[in-house]
Amino acid sequence: MASFQPDSSAYELLTVIGQGLEDLMTVNLARYKPTGEHVAIRRIALESCTNEMVAFLQGELLVSKLFHHPSILPYRSIFIAQNELWIINPFMAYGSARDLISSHFMDGMSELAIAYILLGMLKALEYIHHMGYVHRSVKASHVLIAADGQVCMSGLRSIFSLIRHGQRAKVVHDFPPYSVKVLPWLSPEVLQQNLQGYDFRSDIYSLGITACELANGHVPFKDMPATQMLLEKLNGTVPCLLDSTTIPPEELSMKPSRSGADSGICEGPGACGARHSNGDPSTASSAGGHPYSRTLSPQFHAFVELCLQREPEKRPSATTLIGHPFFKQIKRRPSEALPELFRPLTPITSFDGPQAQGSTAGLSSLESVKTSATLGGGGLRCISALPLGSM
């Protein structure tokens, strides 16, 4: 991949699309003048950053130089411009997987689309774990999708190395101050914070939670108080995919309503509150029917159950999961399948004319650009109405 010039004059700033790091970071959609390519630029006021912020940034930038994998969001250029740190990332035209389920697939994506996304995530995690790192922030808002269907992992700010003094440690005992918003994705052993520590298998648990998030349209435990969530996870409560095999028949016969708790842990009607159908065929629901009257494959259920094992040693590695039968349904390349599976949504490919002024095609509007989708790190506060859910 060609490098981009480390010179602010080579970039035309088009619009502000986000803020973060306690308002010390401004995110711009920009055009790279030499090629006309659109990019996302994070501009960080270094002089105002705390030592902790600088440490997180240093860790992120270190691994950005170290990692080279098609399933990890690349960093095109990093430089200082007028006391600001500029981080150049490619513009991801479909946004994040979280954006997609927030804006259109509100009751979950189709199983096949999820299979493509999870496979891309597993390839990224396989590489990250092989390099001796734990991601620690696996979630749908950190999964970005390009116009050509390429799935990329981002959110490297929380990443942690298992390599200490030239040797690979078996477990990690570092517990950063997590935001309450990210707790639903964290594994029981990370939340427990005891002497046993955790390792790369905590990412596999987070992957299982993300699979539920993509399939159900919301993250499990999302409406639970933090203390109750911790107790549920430590006691072995396992989230599940919501469909006709996990929701009681009497619940499926009820009129859809968004008033339910939506905890996603399959404890009955209260926990599996119905939601309006998003019109996707995978919901197998007619107008007025229950959106989760669909039936997901046994392979999908088995995949999620493996990822969400209470005991870390029972969870497979990313390499093992890549060979899971769940992925046998993938027959085409992502570039051929995902755009079709995302219809009627279309990627943002133009910033003038009708698309820039607004479109009914979901993400095909400039407002939809204003999300974490175009970025790489956590900590972003969206300007748009779309929720981010990042740390």
Is the pLDDT score of 206 beyond 60? yes
Number of domains within the chain:
2
CA 282 to chain centre: 21
Do 154 and 69 fall into the same domain? no
Domain for residue 207, yes or no?
A: yes
CATH number for the domain harbouring residue 296? 1.10.510.10
* Same domain assignment for residues 65 and 209: no
* CA neighbor of 59 nearest in space, from 147, 159, 149, 192: 159
Domain assignment of residue 235, yes or no = yes
Q: Are residues 145 and 253 in the same domain?
A: yes
| Average pLDDT for 315-340 | 97
What pLDDT does 54 receive? 87
Residues 106 and 173 in one domain: yes
Task: Decide if 2 is inside a domain.
Answer: no
Residue 278 pLDDT? 36
Q: What band does 381 get if pLDDT is binned at 50, 70 and 90?
A: very low
The answer to whether residue 363 scores a pLDDT higher than 50 is no
pLDDT at 379 over 80: no
Question: Average per-residue pLDDT in the chain?
Answer: 82
* Tokens 């700033």 found at: 13
Question: Within this chain, do residues 239 and 99 fall inside the same structural domain, yes or no?
Answer: yes
Residue 335 pLDDT class (50, 70, 90 cuts)? very high
CATH number at residue 68: 3.30.200.20
- Which range of residues forms the domain containing residue 277? 95-374
Instruction: Using the predicted structure, report yes or no on whether residue 285 has a pLDDT greater than 80.
Output: no
For the stretch 12-62, pLDDT in tens is 999 887 777 778 889 899 999 999 999 999 999 999 998 888 888 888 999
- What proportion of the chain, given as a percentage, has pLDDT over 90? 57
In a domain, 1, yes or no: no
Does residue 28 form part of some domain? yes
> Do 158 and 305 belong to one domain?
yes
Q: How far apart are CA 87 and CA 324, in angstroms?
A: 36
Question: CB burial class (10 A; 0-12, 13-18, 19+) of residue 265?
Answer: buried
Q: Give the tens place of pLDDT for each residue, 301-310.
A: 999 999 999 9
Same domain, 19 and 68: yes
Identify the H or E element spanning 77: strand 77-81
Pair 210, 233 in one domain = yes
Beta bridge mates, 160: 134
384 belongs to a structural domain: no
- Final residue in a domain of this structure, among 91, 126, 153: 91
pLDDT in tens, 225-273: 989 999 999 998 999 999 999 998 878 777 554 433 345 665 433 333 3
Residue 87 sits in the same domain as residue 104: no
* Predicted pLDDT at 279: 34
| Residues 130 and 19 both lie in one domain | no
Q: What is the pLDDT of residue 352?
A: 54
Q: Is the same domain home to 33 and 119? A: no
**Residue 383 lies inside a defined structural domain of this protein:** no
Among 91, 124, 150, the domain boundary falls at 91
Are 282 and 328 in the same domain?
yes
Structural domain contains residue 386 = no
